[in-house]
Structure 1
Amino acid sequence: MRRARETARRCFAHGENAALLPHASSRNVARDMDAIRAALGEDKLSYYGVSYGADLGALYTQMFPRRADRVILDSSTDPDATQYELFRRAGKPLEEGLDAWATWTARHADTYGLGRTAPQVRATVQTLLDGAGRRPVAIGGTRLGAPLLRLFLRQFVQHQENDPALARTVRTLTDAAAGEPVEPNPELAAMLELLNSPELGDMMTGGAVFMCGDRGWPAGGWPKDPETYWKNIVRSRAGQPVFGPLVNDMTAPCAFWETEPREPATRIGNKVPVLMLQARQDNNVPYEGALALHRKLTGSRLITADIRSHGVYGRGAEGRTAVPCADRAVNAYLRAGTLPAADLTCAAKGTVPSP
């Protein structure tokens, strides 16, 4: 709650910000996109967007359907859900992602020593979190309480290729919590560096203006009563012991938002041809959200990749497991402008990371 209040304070700190905030919306970002198209002298816009960029692309097709050319939406959300609903819906797939990681880690018990069965690995994580709730873990000159540890776990569990890095990080944090003199492993060190960087506050502020300004009022559907968040956290713990407290918490400043948007949220629903991609095990924006958008974009085709990932296209170029049939479909669409004849399900290549 303190972090949310601080982010809200930063947004309202200056008078000029207060004047601009009512106009900080995805609708105006889409208008900016169309202004760029016009400035380039193009009749139509071709576009690839991932995550929020995918939601933004869907909005563009709604606002400027005749200007949309080859539009690709990678990892999108249910356009009818509020921001708080979207956060809460991630809890179950996040726990499933952690289950998959725990199973992998148990197979490499000799390397990481976190448990020889998935339940034992899970118990190690829960013990770490419970202990950090009482006494933050001191490592790398930083003290990490349970909320920050949950956030770190979420960042790692998004991609199956991160399984070794997550196992190394949990091993390091478990040793640090036991009072052993350990140095942060490289992946944890990078996250600690970001956590302590002055840029982090600006990054949070930039995302907040759209998170709180979009998808309805008040403030993107975030409750204003702190008791609501507490009750949701308590209810979530039985089925979502690791991530329930994170996704049900007041993680955004929207409950303290003082500015009402100038326009209502846009309802998505059109026949514009669109190519959609979604990982079935995406635990950042769950698969069901993409299905909801797919039903509303009746001219769309959906390519499903059966992997744990946030983002499908071009994964090989990022050093992750490639999804060749998805890459081919996107490249063919960009080249010729022809959608696949039907929805596709693609297999990833080489999906098991090594320790």
Structure 2
Amino acid sequence: MSRRTALCAALALAAPLLLSAPAATAATGAAGPLARFHHQRLAWKSCVQGPNDDTGKELQKAGAECADVTVPLNYDDPGGRTITVAISRIRATDTPHRVGPLLLNGGGPGGQTLGDAPWIRQTMKDVGARYDVVGVDPRFVGRSTPLDCHWPTGTSIQGAGADRAGFDRMTAFARDLAQRCRKFEGPVLPYVTTRNTARDMDIIRSALGERRISYLGYSYGSYLGEVYATLFPGRVDRMVLDGVIDPDRYSPRLLRGAEAANRHALANWASWTAARNTTYGLGRTRDTVLAAVNRIQAAATRAPLKVGSYRLDDHTVPAIVFSGLSQDNDDAHGALARAVRDMGLAAQGQRVVPDPDFTDTLKFVLTGSESAYGSVQSAILCGDVAAPRDPEVYWRDIQRSRAQDPLFAPVARNIGPCAFWAPPREARTTIRGDFPALLVNATGDPRTIYPGAVAQHRNWPSSRLVTLRGTDQHAVYGVFGSACVDASVNTYFATGRLPAEDVTCDAQADSDA
């Protein structure tokens, strides 16, 4: 996930250029070729990088400091090339009751998390004062030796189109994206993996001088947490995974199987929009609003829709609708309703000037302004698990599912650049059999679907599952505004003890409060 736009807060200034003491060997347990990384000194500095750095200014306001951690590009060759991983830190203020560092990952994969420390610290309430809250831009993301394949888009996720010709265009598009990555970033691609990110986390732990870390991971960050707990189980104190991925389903085709949850979210959005027909004019009933979406997709199949300076076809329209369904709140629903209204007007041949929210979405999908995000997201997925290489596998899958879901199945099951990627350098990670983590998921989550959280809870029988019923929300803790969920997580952070049994919260109870 990455509640990336809504969640990005900022980076900040602490003491200028202070050096931490070298981590003690007892704290790291590290020797041999990695010792120089584990024992490195961190130069803490201001997080502000220039007058337009809003993230840095927000971090500075929160009292954060920043540092760059040096890690090996290739852990099999620690004497070779190195890269840096950028971190931010808001120090614990309740030092007599300090627990230790809490490392963050906001998802994606490819989401920047450096700026998330302030809002996480706020969500934690009083218990936040007992932690050093540490935001991390993972390797090749944001300020951490960024990777950019110079794509013409910020995402590889688009619809397959209405027919074989459309699918063939998407196959050529996916092949081109993969070729661009080989051209611009080929030497580092084998090392853009979750396993290496987990290894970087352990270098960060040691460089901070800590025996153990706590961890909060959203969406893809849940998988990163699962991998870290597998590789370094003795280094974890408290772990919260929100928007939980079943590791058995983790692959470049992670969205496959999420169609039903997205149809449910779309139907609920349509009901919300129908109740506001005087504002959006898309229809007075849920079915009328859904019919408007179908008409827009049909029109885009016949000819591209002109929205401002952009042209939307049957590949991009369903991807835009899909992208608008991860958050279950009035702001997100309104943004999608305005986008659908604008696309509907364009389908009628009217001149449309999109609002800033829709303009940002169009820029993300149809220009290279966010090329780095899509590049590293695909690089991580492709580097972790191999995807089918035969285009016919995807085409047959799309055709089998199109009748049941003509809007979302061609998005969730479409071919992507991983079909044309080199095989992963390491074997797929086999996640350990049990771990006492706190898992959080909404029942209607359209990205990390609820059955995945149930499956991982079964995989980790000593874990506890906090379920939020009655919402199509992706990422819950500190995001949705559930007092029940937030209190459950904060109690665990405060005590280190999991609930005696699983917890069920009701989204309606929060909205009525």
Q: Same fold (TM over 0.5)?
A: yes
Does residue 340 (structure 1) correspond to residue 499 (structure 2)? The answer is yes
Q: 1:44 aligned to 193, 205, 212, which one?
A: 212
Amino acid across the alignment from 1:333: Y
Q: How far is 1:4 from its partner?
A: 1.6
Does residue 182 (structure 1) correspond to residue 352 (structure 2)? The answer is yes
For the 8 Å contact 2:259–2:412, the answer to whether it is kept is yes
Question: Following superposition of structure 1 onto structure 2, how do residues 1-355 of structure 1 map, counting pairs within 5 Å?
Answer: 1-14=171-184, 17-161=185-329, 162-215=332-385, 219=386, 222-250=387-415, 252-258=416-422, 260-306=423-469, 307-315=471-479, 321-348=480-507, 351=511
Mapped partners of 1:110, 1:196: distance in 2: 31
Amino acid across the alignment from 1:207: Q
1:187 partner SS = helix
Amino acid across the alignment from 1:180: Q
Amino acid across the alignment from 2:295: T
Q: How far is 1:107 from its partner?
A: 2.3
1:178-201 deviations in Å (ceiling 9; x for gaps)? 111221133212212333553422
- Give me the CA root mean square deviation: 1.8
For the 8 Å contact 2:316–2:365, the answer to whether it is kept is no
1:101 partner SS = helix
Mapped partners of 1:202, 1:153: distance in 2: 22
For the 8 Å contact 1:172–1:185, the answer to whether it is kept is no
1:12-48 deviations in Å (ceiling 9; x for gaps)? 114xx43432232211111110011011110001110
1:156-211 deviations in Å (ceiling 9; x for gaps)? 11112122221121111100111112211332122123335534222111111111
Mapped partners of 1:52, 1:190: distance in 2: 23
1:48-86 deviations in Å (ceiling 9; x for gaps)? 010111110011111111111111101021111252552
For the 8 Å contact 1:278–1:303, the answer to whether it is kept is yes
Relative contact order, higher structure (CA 8 A, sep 6+): 1
Mapped partners of 2:233, 2:289: distance in 1: 49
1:86 partner SS = coil
* Unaligned residue ranges in structure 2 (runs of 5+): 1-170
1:152 partner SS = helix
Mapped partners of 1:40, 1:194: distance in 2: 36
Mapped partners of 2:370, 2:177: distance in 1: 11
Mapped partners of 1:21, 1:170: distance in 2: 37
Tell me the TM-score normalized by structure 1.
Answer: 0.90
Mapped partners of 1:256, 1:190: distance in 2: 29
Amino acid across the alignment from 2:360: A
2:315 partner SS = helix
Larger helix proportion, structure 1 or 2?
Answer: 1
* Unaligned residue ranges in structure 1 (runs of 5+): 316-320
For the 8 Å contact 2:476–2:485, the answer to whether it is kept is yes
1:285-305 deviations in Å (ceiling 9; x for gaps)? 111111111111222111011
For the 8 Å contact 1:281–1:287, the answer to whether it is kept is yes
- Shift in alpha-carbon separation, 1:144–1:57, aligned structure 2, 3 A: same
1:86-140 deviations in Å (ceiling 9; x for gaps)? 2211111111111111122222233322222222211110110011012111112
Tell me the TM-score normalized by structure 2.
Answer: 0.63
For the 8 Å contact 1:135–1:145, the answer to whether it is kept is yes
Q: How far is 1:143 from its partner?
A: 0.4
Mapped partners of 2:177, 2:462: distance in 1: 39
1:227 partner SS = helix
Mapped partners of 2:481, 2:228: distance in 1: 28
1:298 partner SS = coil
1:324-354 deviations in Å (ceiling 9; x for gaps)? 11111111111221111111111235559xx
Mapped partners of 1:293, 1:103: distance in 2: 32
Runs of 4+ in 1 over 4 A off after TM superposition: 349-352
Mapped partners of 1:6, 1:201: distance in 2: 13
Amino acid across the alignment from 1:211: L
2:504 partner SS = strand
Aligned positions, number:
338
Q: More deviation in 113-122 or 30-39?
A: 113-122
For the 8 Å contact 2:363–2:369, the answer to whether it is kept is no
1:231 partner SS = helix
